Amino acid sequence: MENLETFNADQIAIINNGVAMSEELVSNFYKMSASQWLSRRYDIKTMADLNPAETVCGPFAQVIRYQGQRKDASLSSAAYDFYKICLQDHAILAAIAQSPGIKLLPFILYIVTHELIHIVRFSKFLQGFDASQNEIAAEEARVHEITREILGPVGIPGLGNVLIFYGKWRQPIDDLSIS
């Protein structure tokens, strides 16, 4: 997967704005205080900061779970889950290019909100990370529904088009394949 299109500096500024909005919306939805929210261990990266194994074709983003441990901790009981949201610049930019009604800010707002919901649900044990294909499909439909619930009242220009774009993903997907 060489020469994939990446976000430019102006687009990164828009993405940072969308990420901040998503974090606030998800935190408010789950009624999490700042200390509870910050205790969630995750990071969000674009293609410029992904290694080849974190780059995929197809989805707009993926969540990868890593095991973390403080440097000064020698016991395995000190290990924790660390989640990395890997934005797939090339897929996002291609979708925007093919869908004139879709703009970057509302699209990123949806994508990041959706992935943050997954992380909250994994962290609260509302869904297992290593689930069966059927469970993954059902969870995707649930998370799309929650994303719509969170974003429905948000007054961002162009968000309505994104909600329409994602409407079909609110039903379970029969043949979910992971690339």
pLDDT tens digits, one per residue of 116-155: 999 998 887 656 566 667 777 778 888 999 999 999 999 9
- With bands split at pLDDT 50, 70 and 90, how would you rate the model's confidence at 177? very low
Does residue 172 surpass a pLDDT of 70?
no
State the chain's mean pLDDT as an integer. 84
pLDDT of 56 strictly over 60 = yes
pLDDT digits over 73-126, tens only?
Answer: 666 666 778 889 999 999 999 999 999 899 999 999 999 999 999 999 888 765
Quote the percentage of the chain above a pLDDT of 70: 79
- The pTM of the full predicted model, rounded to 2 decimals, is 0.85
- ∠ Cα 82 87 91 (to 5°): 150
pLDDT of 175 reads: 42
Mean pLDDT of 16-38: 89
Helix ranges (DSSP H) in the chain: 9-29, 34-38, 89-98, 104-123, 133-151, 159-165
For residue 46 the two structure tokens come to 């674009």
CA distance 154 to 40: 24
The residue ranges of every structural domain in the chain are 9-68+78-169
